[in-house]
Amino acid sequence: MEMMTSNELKNSLVELLCDFDLFARKNNLRYSLAYGTLLGSIRHQGFIPWDDDIDLWMPRPDFERMLSIPYVGEVDVCLKSHLNGRFLFPYAKLTRADVEIDDPFWNSCGKQNLFIDIFPLDGLPDDPSSVEHLYREALKIKNDIAKSDVGIGFEKSAFRKIAKRAYIALRGGRRWRTRSYEKMQSLWSAYPYEDSTTVGMYAFPTPGLIEIMEKSDFETAISKGKFEGRDFPIPGNWDPILECLYGDYMTPPAPSQRSGHGLKAYKVALSQVEKQR
């Protein structure tokens, strides 16, 4: 396989995003650019120069409906989630079969393909202390899900993997993971997106980050943001969202704090592409 340049990697990601955008529009699914992808659209009209991934948000009702629709794309892609057994965590990955990546965190789980992350937005309680408690619980559940799979993480030695298998068995094996999914579902079921005034992403929470964003900022006058020469949906009132996530988001971080995921990508010959669906 031939290693791709950074520009080739980013072009492949944009092609994947275009494919998803067409699928979403055909099926009337709401979504928007998220996190560094949204920031890149506003500040750079494309990728943050040192970034190399794409993130999306989708309201919980649309996210659940998306997972129930057979994904038919223009390229050989696969929508992976914990519901179809193709992904561990309770968000979704859209992958393309003709690009493989080298990602140290995920490699022990087997071959990895280039992907876009799709994160569900869920409702939040009105009380800030209840929000903090919810995020703490969600983080515990996320960690339990990660611990329930021997392939997740950076364990290299055979001894550490054997020890992790024993720990997983002690906690109940797959039943432990199933219980964790049920606990996570109970969190977002308690605060339906449709009935909430504030929303956040806690299906895969980041330690130390509590997202509290006004739902109206997402739903009022959804607009289009430039990203690598194309238009994609962004929240109508993106300023308070980016301020919540990044503070002074228009000021780039110091050079020492600029880091991407360091992905290495490889183009797979058509004769070697394995069908994902």
Main-chain phi, psi angles of 133, to 5 degrees = -65, -40
* pTM: predicted TM-score of the whole model, two decimal places: 0.88
Q: Are 135 and 205 in contact (CB under 8 A)?
A: yes
**What is the H or E stretch that residue 134 is in?**
helix 128-147
Domain boundaries, the chain: 1-121+197-273
The gap from C-alpha 64 to its chain's centroid, in whole angstroms, comes to 15
Closest CA to 98 of 77, 79, 118: 77
Say what the pLDDT of residue 44 is.
95
pLDDT tens digit sequence for 92-147: 999 998 999 887 666 555 678 999 999 999 999 999 999 999 999 999 999 888 87
Cα–Cα distance between 242 and 35 in angstroms, integer? Answer: 8
For the chain, how long is the longest CA-to-CA vector?
A: 56
> Is residue 277 very low, low, confident or very high in pLDDT (cuts 50, 70, 90)?
very low
CATH topology of domain 1-121+197-273: Beta Polymerase; domain 2 (3.30.460)
